[in-house]
Amino acid sequence: MSNSTSHPTTFASLNLAQPLLRAIEDAGYTQPTPVQAQAIPLVLAGGDLLAGAQTGTGKTAGFTLPILHRLAEKPAATPGSGRPRCLILTPTRELAAQVEESVQTYGKYLPFKSMVMFGGVNINPQIKSLRGQIDILVATPGRLLDHVGQKTLDLSGVEILVLDEADRMLDMGFIRDIRKILALLPKQRQNLLFSATFSDEIKTLADGLLHNPGLVEVARRNTTSELVEQSVHLIPQKLKSYLLSHLIKHNDWKQVLVFTRTKHGANRLAEKLTADGIRTRSGHRHAAACGEFRIAQRARRLRAPHRPHRPRRQQRRRDLAGRQRRVPASQGH
Ligand code: AMP
């Protein structure tokens, strides 16, 4: 693996095409973020990339800008309708919509057509869009495979593949779908993998997918956000609520979110804080529920980390899709 550590300080020094520099200027960006400064030259050079970057680091522009540059450099070998040159896979529809918006923002002075595709919404408008030119497709894996099944999408022209938030995709059980999609792509292509964390599963995926990738790491392996300061207080159980009460008062904290193991524990804690003159909201019930949920989830994962349980996962996805259908559609196209 090669590792780029140089940090050019302007977008112009990254040799991006003029239409991109204009769009960047319109967006008001004055300087590339670290992930952009490192990733853009590597992607422009045409190699594969393994990037450790969380949301908020500017990673989307880190791959979108050089992809647009590369697509603009040479015309499609065999242009065709519903035949994207770049495929960006994301775990959720929200992220898909966000990424496609970035493609439009940065590509506004270029002639490319982009499209966002996700499940939980009517497939027909997507089928209609696929009858036209699509250069960049941003999609969630499930709906993408639905289109492949219906032969409304042709993946044989994909030159660049991006797996965005790959760790979340694996967490959400998309690994089989990803493998199916990879099998449909041309062998000769550029692969970019973005992930906030690097589990063994991600490493296995990266090893099979990437060829001598450039490495960019702006978030260290499995680290928490640098914006969050963490501390641990080792004290007897019965003193915990006293310490919490003290910390809130002493630090004059205005907003505090507390996770407890049980709802009962949340109620007791709320009573104690109220007695100490600290205002607690009825939201503590919600916090307790969140706490329970997260702990339950974690315990389940620890018990059976590789449990495939396909039928149940599919059911859960169907449930989710059903729920999403009731949410007003945020689809761009
Ligand atoms: P991302 O990590 O891709 O989700 O981006 C996080 C936010 O940073 C987005 O709102 C971008 O518009 C913004 N952003 C991306 N690149 C830059 C930059 N070079 N300067 C300032 N803001 C940026």
Q: How far is the CA of 97 from the centre of ligand 1 (A)?
A: 15
Residue bearing the CA closest to ligand 1, atom 9 = 58
Q: Per CATH, the architecture of 2-217 is what? A: 3-Layer(aba) Sandwich (3.40)
Centroid of chain to Cα 174: 13
Give the pLDDT confidence of 229-268 residue by residue, as tens digits: 888 899 998 999 999 999 999 999 988 888 888 888 888 8
Q: How far is the CA of 174 from the centre of ligand 1 (A)?
A: 27
Average pLDDT, rounded, for the chain: 84
Nearest atom of ligand 1 to the alpha carbon of 53: 2
Give the pLDDT confidence of 139-156 residue by residue, as tens digits: 999 999 999 999 999 999
Asked whether the whole model's pTM tops 0.85, one would answer no
Residue bearing the CA closest to ligand 1, atom 18 = 29
Domains of the chain, by residue range, sit at 2-217, 233-307
59 CB less than 6 Å from ligand 1? yes
57 CB less than 6 Å from ligand 1? yes
Q: How far is the CA of 36 from the centre of ligand 1 (A)?
A: 10
